[in-house]
């Protein structure tokens, strides 16, 4: 039985898509069968794995509309053991289109539930908002990974996200769990980075992943080549950070 994990934070620029793509690729390299679902209209996870966004005809939008099955939407990537359900800018319209539908929060859950038998991990890259798209991802997921950048406003908005998770747990998905808080964009030279790490670990101790994702030039270059950090530069600090996160996740769930 595969595990469905949403990667969510309503703040933009915290390393959500970087984490989705590179954690998925790392799990694949560690011989887990992985599906990444791009649930962000910006479609950065799609282009980050080398898929031409303009050429996407069947993706997350059709999946949520139930006009196509998940199987129709799955694309194999060049990364070992990694498939993706891509996104396209048309996903922007989904929130408006689903608003009048019955059980609108459960569209993703209905569409992907049966895929658990085919994959070890299904990761959902969420949009940077707490709208209907993210709600669908949280309702479908078993757990959520929350990336937090080691910068000044890191904890701002975290309370709001945790409240959203609480209300999803209460109303839509009682089994939703927090997989962990992931510290990203860490720069050991900056006092502020170290302060954020201390603060997050002090407040949330058990919930924080041991692995910390460090700032890494190669990591920010990789998406422009349409590759995960594992394909782009397997020897980089970024690759070793995400492999270590993947190992931590596997160990936690074994």
Contact (CB, 8 A) for 47 and 226: yes
Write the CA distances from 76 to 33, 43, 51, 82, integer angstroms. Answer: 11, 16, 10, 7
Report the CATH fold assignment for 3-252. Answer: Rossmann fold (3.40.50)
Per-residue pLDDT at 12:
86
Q: For every one of its 254 residues, what pLDDT tens digit does the chain have, with 9 covering 90 and above?
A: 899 999 999 888 899 999 999 999 999 999 999 999 999 999 999 999 999 999 999 999 999 999 999 999 999 999 999 999 999 998 989 888 988 888 999 999 999 999 999 999 999 999 998 889 999 999 999 999 999 999 888 778 788 889 989 999 999 999 999 999 999 999 989 898 999 899 889 889 889 999 999 999 999 999 999 999 999 999 999 999 999 999 999 999 99
- Sheet containing strand 75-76, edge to edge, reads 75-76, 82-85, 34-39, 121-126, 3-7, 143-149, 177-186, 208-214
* Residues 6 or more apart whose Cβ sits within 8 Å of residue 130: 10, 160, 161, 164
Tell me the C-alpha distance between 242 and 25, whole Å.
9
Q: What is the pLDDT of residues 147-181, one digit of tens each?
A: 999 988 877 878 888 998 999 999 999 999 999 99
């Amino acid at each position: 039985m595969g595990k469905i994990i949403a990667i969510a934070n309503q703040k933009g620029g915290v390393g959500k898509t970087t984490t989705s793509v590179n954690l998925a690729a790392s799990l694949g390299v560690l011989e887990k069968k992985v599906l990444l679902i791009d649930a962000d209209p910006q479609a950065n996870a799609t282009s980050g794995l080398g898929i031409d966004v303009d050429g996407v005809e069947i993706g997350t939008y059709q999946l949520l509309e139930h006009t196509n099955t998940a199987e129709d939407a799955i694309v194999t990537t060049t990364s070992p053991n990694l498939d993706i359900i891509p996104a396209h800018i048309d996903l922007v319209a989904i929130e408006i289109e689903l608003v009048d539908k019955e059980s609108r929060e459960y569209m993703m859950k209905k569409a992907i539930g049966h895929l658990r038998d085919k994959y070890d991990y299904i990761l959902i890259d969420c949009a940077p908002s707490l709208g209907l798209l993210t709600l669908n991802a949280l309702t479908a997921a078993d757990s959520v990974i929350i990336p937090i950048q080691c910068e000044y406003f890191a904890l701002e908005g975290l309370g709001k996200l945790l409240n959203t998770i609480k209300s999803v747990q209460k109303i839509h998905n009682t089994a939703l769990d927090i997989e962990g808080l992931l510290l990203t964009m860490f720069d050991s030279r900056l006092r502020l980075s170290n302060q954020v790490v201390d603060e997050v670990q002090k407040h949330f101790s058990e919930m924080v992943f041991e692995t910390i994702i460090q700032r890494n030039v190669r990591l920010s270059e990789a998406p422009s080549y349409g590759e995960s950090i594992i394909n782009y530069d397997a020897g980089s600090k970024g690759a070793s950070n995400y492999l270590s996160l993947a190992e931590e996740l596997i160990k936690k769930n074994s």
